[in-house]
Structure 1
Amino acid sequence: MAKIHELSSVLADQIAAGEVVERPASVVKELVENALDAHATQIDVLVLESGVQSIRVIDDGEGIADDDVLTAFKRHATSKITSRADLFRVQSLGFRGEALPSIASVADVVLNTSTGTTGTSIHYRGGKLLKQAPAPLRQGTDITVTDLFFNTPARLKYLKSPQTELANIVDIVNRLALSYPAVAFRLVHNSKELLKTAGRGDLQQVIAGIYGVQNARKMVAIEGTTADYRLSGYVALPELTRASRQYITILINGRAIKNQLLTKAVIKGYGSKLMVGRYPIAVIALEMDPLLVDVNVHPTKQEVRLSKEPELAKLISTTITDRLANVNLIPSALTNLGSHRRERLNTDQLAIDLNAASSQHQTTAQPSMSQVAPSMAAAATEMAAEVSVSAAPEPLSAATPERTPAESQPIMISDARELDNTAVAAFDDRYQAETVDLPFGVATPEKTLAIEPVTKATSTPATAERFPALRYLGQMHGTYLLAEADDGMYILDQHAAQERINYEYYRQAIGEVSTDQQNLLVPIILDYPTSDVLKIKEQLPLLAQLGLKLEAFGGNSFIIHSHPTWFKAGQEEDTIREMIDWVLQDGKLTVAQFREKSAIMMSCKRAIKANHHLDDQQARALLEKLPTCENPFNCPHGRPVTVHFTNTDMEKMFKRIQDNHISQNTH
């Protein structure tokens, strides 16, 4: 009897599903991408129980012809690839032909589709065709996936918590909405609307809908081009950061991808403007010839291979650096004071809403945040990733009234709105009309307020310079300097300020490669274990390029007779050891990298420490030097140098402004 046999089509589809359908979010991704490839302008995603019970995707795209419906559920059946040449110019999201058969092999799938002239309904369960019948003639596709992984319980067992699975779905839909701002997206979970975009082609409005209007106002537009690439998008000001890289979205020809080099390029573009361990919010849209990108290297198509990748990374980093170079980056003191609390509230509210969304539908109103905040700490810790969820953004019209600080906190998921049975029933009915007026909650384009960050450079005509001219007032606790300008009061961290001044001095002083050497009266002898000696010997040529000429001195020792002249007197041995340690740790170290690290190290050691009282002359000298820096806003570690209280902030704190009106009492 032959030992080798051909797998059945159902079993082959189930094996393929292991790569394509990892979790409910994978199903959402594949189905929404099919809708986008069908040129849909409206896509609605309805999810029950984090997608395990039901996933329904409705679009108004081209639909599938009757003759093609059965073929669409066969492996490697696609309308997007016809020849080998097409594989190298892929311009669609789905092209492998694995999504529908893989999903149908591990779930119950009902598809209703129509091209506008004919319609077909088809029912698959576990990869087997159960029914085929005519369908209504509403153009587009309506596909419902239920009982996911019913016949593969092992995969069902390894799903994460309902909150985590829902967070993955929201993240997928968010990124697809950012990729296609001209498409109106709607995400509903257990009859609660979590996301809604207008589909007007305005990326700013989509960002506001996902991350919140207040956060969107702290993002600036970027543009850049080379002969091969075109870059556009939005990046956050350095004051708006998150604890993970997840909020950096890279889009290539409308496809959200993961690429470590490009993500690092975004962070590199900020330089020392970011605090250590903090990352920006960014949406980077890249357009290029499809020949320069290979999207066929991963089953889920989230990872791609790029030609001229270093050139693209350089374009991203330099574009961000240039865009932020002339922007006043002094954060509002009130913003910095409340940022930690707001971020905690964001995580708390997210856990609350996800827990509520994963429970059975309730007709009672959601409790207020103050009522449920004490009970959600445990739920918040279950969130393995930071995911931003939001309902439709608030109106951005110029007539929007000023809000109190509590109202303006950018909660990243708003109170999920209960949809009554009538609204749910009307969900399908609105597709019957030829034109649908979708209320989105944003102003019309001609009345829309641009979401440009309100920097100090644009807030008042008197402060048009990048960094204000500060007048010294005094010192607080030997740590902070108080100063004023025409637009308010400034508080400076004296250590961070001098650290920035020192850093730019040392970076310039040691920035030029020099072969000049200083001979040592007493040679330095360094001892290392055998494992390190072998690595050091391998890197001797690199160390020589850095100006360190190590000679073997018997056993596990090296001797050094000279060092570069720019070494700080008294710190020669410590500097040499740090250079060697960096080489051992990184495996490679360029002159530029080492001198950057050296400048940061020396600037910190030589800066004024806290609790050190300065006289008026020293303080004024510090305030005079700071504006001459290339980046006077952050220390080399990314901490802010100064914060700003505007005149309006001061008037509000002393109740000289009440109820949006200036008090008439001038006493």
Structure 2
Amino acid sequence: MGKIHELDSVLADQIAAGEVVERPASVVKELVENAVDAHATQIDILVQESGVRSIRIIDDGDGIDDTDVLTAFKRHATSKITSREDLFKVHSLGFRGEALPSIASVADVVMSTSTGTTGTRIHYRGGKLLQQAPAPLRQGTDITVTDLFFNTPARLKYLKSPQTELANILDVVNRIALSYPGVAFRLVHNAKELLKTAGRGDLQQVIAGIYGVQNARKMVEIQGADDDFKLTGFVALPELTRASRQYVTVLINGRAIKNQQLTKAVIKGYGSKLMVGRYPIAVIDLQMDPLLVDVNVHPTKQEVRLSREPALAKLISTTITARLVDVNLIPSALTNLGSHRREALNTDQLAMNLNAASSQYHVASKDPVATERFAASLAAAASPTAVSESSEVAETPASMAVEPVSSAAVPEMDTQTSADSAEPIMISDRRELAATSVNDFDQRYQDEAPELPFGAQAETQEELAVTSDSEEAAGERFPQLRYLGQMHGTYLLAEADDGMYILDQHAAQERINYEYYRREIGEVSTDQQNLLVPIILDYPTSDVLKIKEKLPVLAELGLHLESFGGNSFIIHAHPTWFKAGQEEDTIREMVDWLLQDDKLTVAQFREKSAIMMSCKRAIKANHHLDDQQARALLTKLPDCENPFNCPHGRPVTVHFTNSDMERMFKRIQDSHEARD
């Protein structure tokens, strides 16, 4: 008897499920995408115990004809492609034809579907058909998946903690909702509504439902296009950042995708406006000819292959850069203080509660009694009272109960979060997430409408006007500041017609220096200054080999090193823009940068050199300036291309508005009545 045989169809489906159905979120993704492809306008996602117990998807889409229901549960069956040519012009979200049979092979699946003229109810368990019967004629599909991985218990051991699995589900739904603002989505977990979108086609409203109205107000609309691509979306002002790249959502033809190069292009568009280690919130919606994108390169269809990717990345970065050029980016001082106050709240208690819930997870997957305790502990850990009872923080609305894991704890684990970790959401991340579930900085210091509950929608576009205090300031991009004095040899105090400004003197001069060096390094001329005494540099052999390989890069910047025997180099001249008295230090620093990363391009080397030199040659803290020096600094700063941030992204100045000052001194009461 031969050794080679054909696998049983159920076993083949279970193997396919290993690629398509990795976790409960995978089930949600596949079924919700099917509902979108079926032209649904309302999709309800009902989940119990992070999807381990049950997942139910209800839509009002086209439904499946009774003659096609059994075929839909066969491998490689699909209604979305018919020929080879269709593979290269995909307009749907899914077409691999493995989702339904794969899910049915590792779970209990009951589906009722109707086209409006016929209705069918079908029941599969472990890949075996148990029942087929007529169903009500409500148009659309209602599918319930229970006992996920009941016949493949090894898969259960690879699931993460309950809050992580719930976060993955939330991320999937959030990104699909951002992709299709014209579809109304509702996500309910353990009878608590976590997300609700209106389906009005307004992307900004969906962003507000996911990230909150206050954050949506700090996002600006972008538009760009070239011959092949059309770009729209919203990006956050630089003051609104997060700790990882996972808040950048890239959509291609209605599909949320993962692409490191496009994500980097978004970050590059901010230039030095972002602090080091901080990343923006962004939703980038790209439309292109389907021939330019291949979505059939990954079982989950989240990774795609793009034609003309460099051109697309450039379009993204230049569009964002151009949009932020003329925006006043000075943050409100009280907003900055508010973010720190929220971080200082007792959000550790929430993280402890979540950890306590996750410790019961693996027990719950084996013990039916423990399953009930697991569900209760998850609800308790994520409830607003878990925070408010221990920290005297005002309780959030009930509909916001699990917001800490909504838009922030997303599944893609980039350089900030390890995908292999059994607990990928770090405590520091939970603090940031939990902080979003408590009230914003004391409402007495804000003159804005209260933030809507998570999932609630603003009634009018006016309620979501994307403006900030800085944008509402007087028409000029950067105010004309009048110098008042210096504080602790570190901060400069100034005033303008709209309030008081505090400047970090080191950050201010660092920005001025950076733009000078970037300009000079980028516009290298043949002008050289001869040295009276040549500079000799000595390096170990390993470094000499690297330097010799990169001599052309140094020459691009006007720095010519000549071999001087052994492990030495000699320099006879330097660019004229070098500061007098700092020639040798500057040369050594530039060579050191090159040695740290021998893969630097010329453009990257120029940028890093400019940042390095601007920092080392800036005024330090605790350095007292006289009035003339301080005023000179304030005069040069507005002439900068970006006077708002140092090259590392820290704010140069913060702003106290006139009304901020009046509130702090109680000249304006909470009722907005002036005090005598």
Structure 1-normalised TM-score? 0.86
Whether the 8 Å contact between 1:210 and 1:412 is mirrored in structure 2 is no
Whether the 8 Å contact between 1:326 and 1:466 is mirrored in structure 2 is yes
Whether the 8 Å contact between 1:256 and 1:302 is mirrored in structure 2 is yes
> In structure 2, what is the equivalent of residue 50 of structure 1?
50
Q: Within 1, Cα distance between the matches of 2:216 and 2:573? A: 54
Structure 2: which 5+ runs fail to align?
A: 358-372, 394-401, 410-421
1:22 counterpart SS class? coil
Cα deviation 1:2-49 (Å, max 9, x = unaligned): 111111111111111111111111111111111110011111111111
> In structure 1, what is the equivalent of residue 242 of structure 2?
242
Whether the 8 Å contact between 1:195 and 1:389 is mirrored in structure 2 is no
Q: Within 2, Cα distance between the matches of 1:157 and 1:198? A: 37
Cα deviation 1:188-245 (Å, max 9, x = unaligned): 1111111111111111111111111111111111111111111111111111111101
> In structure 2, what is the equivalent of residue 449 of structure 1?
463
Task: Give the letter for the 1:244 counterpart.
Answer: S
> In structure 2, what is the equivalent of residue 315 of structure 1?
315
> In structure 2, what is the equivalent of residue 397 of structure 1?
none
Judging changes above 3 Å, is the alpha-carbon distance between structure 1 residues 593 and 20 closer, same or farther for their aligned structure 2 residues?
A: same
2:122 counterpart SS class? strand
Whether the 8 Å contact between 1:50 and 1:358 is mirrored in structure 2 is no
Q: How does 1:11-160 map to 2 (within 5 A)?
A: 11-160=11-160
Q: Within 2, Cα distance between the matches of 1:470 and 1:634? A: 16
1:307 positional shift: 1.1
Residue 484 in structure 1 maps to residue 495 in structure 2:
yes
Cα deviation 1:574-613 (Å, max 9, x = unaligned): 4444444444443333333222222222222222221222
1:74 positional shift: 0.8
2:330 counterpart SS class? coil
Judging changes above 3 Å, is the alpha-carbon distance between structure 1 residues 488 and 165 closer, same or farther for their aligned structure 2 residues?
A: same
Q: How does 1:634-649 map to 2 (within 5 A)?
A: 634-649=645-660
Residue 370 in structure 1 maps to residue 388 in structure 2:
yes
> In structure 1, what is the equivalent of residue 510 of structure 2?
499
Q: CA RMSD in A?
A: 3.2
1:654 positional shift: 1.4
Whether the 8 Å contact between 2:593 and 2:608 is mirrored in structure 1 is no
2:320 counterpart SS class? helix
Whether the 8 Å contact between 1:170 and 1:389 is mirrored in structure 2 is no
Judging changes above 3 Å, is the alpha-carbon distance between structure 1 residues 232 and 130 closer, same or farther for their aligned structure 2 residues?
A: same
Q: Within 1, Cα distance between the matches of 2:196 and 2:5? A: 50
Q: Within 1, Cα distance between the matches of 2:193 and 2:620? A: 51
Residue 167 in structure 1 maps to residue 178 in structure 2:
no
Task: Give the letter for the 2:609 counterpart.
Answer: S
Deviates more, 1:314-323 or 1:582-591: 582-591
Judging changes above 3 Å, is the alpha-carbon distance between structure 1 residues 413 and 275 closer, same or farther for their aligned structure 2 residues?
A: farther
Task: Give the letter for the 2:467 counterpart.
Answer: P
Judging changes above 3 Å, is the alpha-carbon distance between structure 1 residues 73 and 19 closer, same or farther for their aligned structure 2 residues?
A: same
Task: Give the letter for the 2:492 counterpart.
Answer: L
Whether the 8 Å contact between 1:350 and 1:412 is mirrored in structure 2 is no
Cα deviation 1:604-632 (Å, max 9, x = unaligned): 22222212222222222221221111111
1:359 counterpart SS class? helix
1:292 positional shift: 0.8
Q: Within 1, Cα distance between the matches of 2:333 and 2:306? A: 42
Task: Give the letter for the 1:644 counterpart.
Answer: H
Q: Within 2, Cα distance between the matches of 1:328 and 1:113? A: 53
> In structure 1, what is the equivalent of residue 522 of structure 2?
511
2:36 counterpart SS class? helix
Which of 608, 611, 618 is matched with 1:597 structurally? Answer: 608
Structure 2-normalised TM-score? 0.85
Which of 608, 614, 623 is matched with 2:619 structurally? Answer: 608
Judging changes above 3 Å, is the alpha-carbon distance between structure 1 residues 648 and 279 closer, same or farther for their aligned structure 2 residues?
A: same
1:510 counterpart SS class? helix
Q: Within 1, Cα distance between the matches of 2:540 and 2:110? A: 67
Residue 272 in structure 1 maps to residue 313 in structure 2:
no
1:67 counterpart SS class? coil
Task: Give the letter for the 1:274 counterpart.
Answer: L
Task: Give the letter for the 1:62 counterpart.
Answer: D
Q: Within 2, Cα distance between the matches of 1:540 and 1:600? A: 21
Cα deviation 1:62-121 (Å, max 9, x = unaligned): 011111111111111111111111100011100110111111111111111111111111
Q: Within 2, Cα distance between the matches of 1:97 and 1:134? A: 24
Q: Within 2, Cα distance between the matches of 1:528 and 1:82? A: 65
Whether the 8 Å contact between 1:342 and 1:409 is mirrored in structure 2 is no
Q: How does 1:536-547 map to 2 (within 5 A)?
A: 536-547=547-558
> In structure 2, what is the equivalent of residue 384 of structure 1?
425
Structure 1: which 5+ runs fail to align?
A: 394-401, 415-439
2:463 counterpart SS class? coil
2:145 counterpart SS class? strand
Which of 360, 374, 377 is matched with 2:376 structurally? Answer: 360
Q: How does 1:196-235 map to 2 (within 5 A)?
A: 196-235=196-235
Task: Give the letter for the 1:359 counterpart.
Answer: A
Judging changes above 3 Å, is the alpha-carbon distance between structure 1 residues 6 and 560 closer, same or farther for their aligned structure 2 residues?
A: farther
Task: Give the letter for the 1:42 counterpart.
Answer: Q
> In structure 1, what is the equivalent of residue 369 of structure 2?
none
1:617 counterpart SS class? helix
Task: Give the letter for the 1:633 counterpart.
Answer: F
Q: Within 2, Cα distance between the matches of 1:443 and 1:543? A: 55
Whether the 8 Å contact between 1:351 and 1:383 is mirrored in structure 2 is no
Deviates more, 1:491-500 or 1:547-556: 547-556
Q: Count how many residue pairs are aligned between Structure 1 and Structure 2.
A: 625
Judging changes above 3 Å, is the alpha-carbon distance between structure 1 residues 170 and 343 closer, same or farther for their aligned structure 2 residues?
A: farther
Q: Within 1, Cα distance between the matches of 2:495 and 2:139? A: 64
Percent identity over paired residues: 80
Q: Within 1, Cα distance between the matches of 2:177 and 2:445? A: 29
> In structure 2, what is the equivalent of residue 429 of structure 1?
none
2:611 counterpart SS class? helix
Deviates more, 1:317-326 or 1:450-459: 450-459
> In structure 1, what is the equivalent of residue 599 of structure 2?
588
> In structure 2, what is the equivalent of residue 398 of structure 1?
none
2:472 counterpart SS class? helix
Task: Give the letter for the 1:465 counterpart.
Answer: E
1:343 positional shift: 4.7
2:133 counterpart SS class? strand
2:625 counterpart SS class? coil
> In structure 1, what is the equivalent of residue 362 of structure 2?
none
1:569 positional shift: 4.2
Task: Give the letter for the 1:466 counterpart.
Answer: R
Q: Within 1, Cα distance between the matches of 2:117 and 2:655? A: 63
Task: Give the letter for the 1:514 counterpart.
Answer: S
Task: Give the letter for the 2:375 counterpart.
Answer: S
2:210 counterpart SS class? helix
2:68 counterpart SS class? helix
Task: Give the letter for the 1:511 counterpart.
Answer: G
Residue 653 in structure 1 maps to residue 664 in structure 2:
yes
1:407 positional shift: 11
1:456 counterpart SS class? coil
Q: Within 1, Cα distance between the matches of 2:672 and 2:559? A: 67
1:369 counterpart SS class? helix
1:490 counterpart SS class? strand
Q: Within 2, Cα distance between the matches of 1:636 and 1:35? A: 46
1:133 positional shift: 0.9
Q: How does 1:1-16 map to 2 (within 5 A)?
A: 1-16=1-16
Cα deviation 1:128-178 (Å, max 9, x = unaligned): 111111111111111111111111111111111111111111111111111
Whether the 8 Å contact between 1:163 and 1:358 is mirrored in structure 2 is no
Q: Within 1, Cα distance between the matches of 2:175 and 2:245? A: 14
Judging changes above 3 Å, is the alpha-carbon distance between structure 1 residues 482 and 210 closer, same or farther for their aligned structure 2 residues?
A: same
